[in-house]
Amino acid sequence: MDGNVTASSNYPEQLLSQTAWLQRLSRELVPSAQCAHLVQETLVAALERAKPSKASVRTWLERIARNLAAGGTRAHHRRVRREQHAPRSEDEPTAVDTIAQFEMHRWLSMR
């Protein structure tokens, strides 16, 4: 199948017919653990948006997949930066430490 949609074709079926090709593309764009998710998100996005009339299904799906992959990569990098700048959990006292400190202050204030 060449990825072109004819006027009489059923759009959802055309999208599904490109799943194997989309899986191969997703392996080029994201780590293998994220491929299935990218394929699913791409198909959902394609169903929710109108395909440009001159674009083939593959061209349309590729554009969506690349945008989603790039967006996911940007989101991943933002999350990593936030986590690097956030206080480390081992630097913060635990609830037990806080209660122990409170108890110590209370005990000392009674003396």
Q: How many domains does the chain have?
A: 1
Residue 63 lies in a domain: yes
Is this model's pTM higher than 0.95 or not? no
Residue 61 lies in a domain: yes
**Segment 7-47, tens digit of pLDDT:** 435 888 889 999 999 999 999 999 988 899 999 999 999 98
Lowest mean pLDDT among 4-8, 55-59, 75-79: 4-8
Residue 2 lies in a domain: no
Residue 72 lies in a domain: yes
How many degrees, rounded to 5, is the angle at CA 21 between CA 19 and CA 23?
Answer: 70
Residue 59 lies in a domain: yes
What is the extent of the structural domain holding 97?
11-110
Residue 6 lies in a domain: no
Distance from the first to the final alpha carbon of the chain? 85
Does the CA dihedral 105-107-110-111 come out positive or negative?
negative
**Segment 99-111, tens digit of pLDDT:** 888 888 888 888 7
Q: Assign residue 25 the CATH number of its domain.
A: 1.10.1740.10
**For all residues of the chain together, what is the average pLDDT?**
81
Q: Is the CB of residue 11 less than 8 Å from the CB of residue 37?
A: no
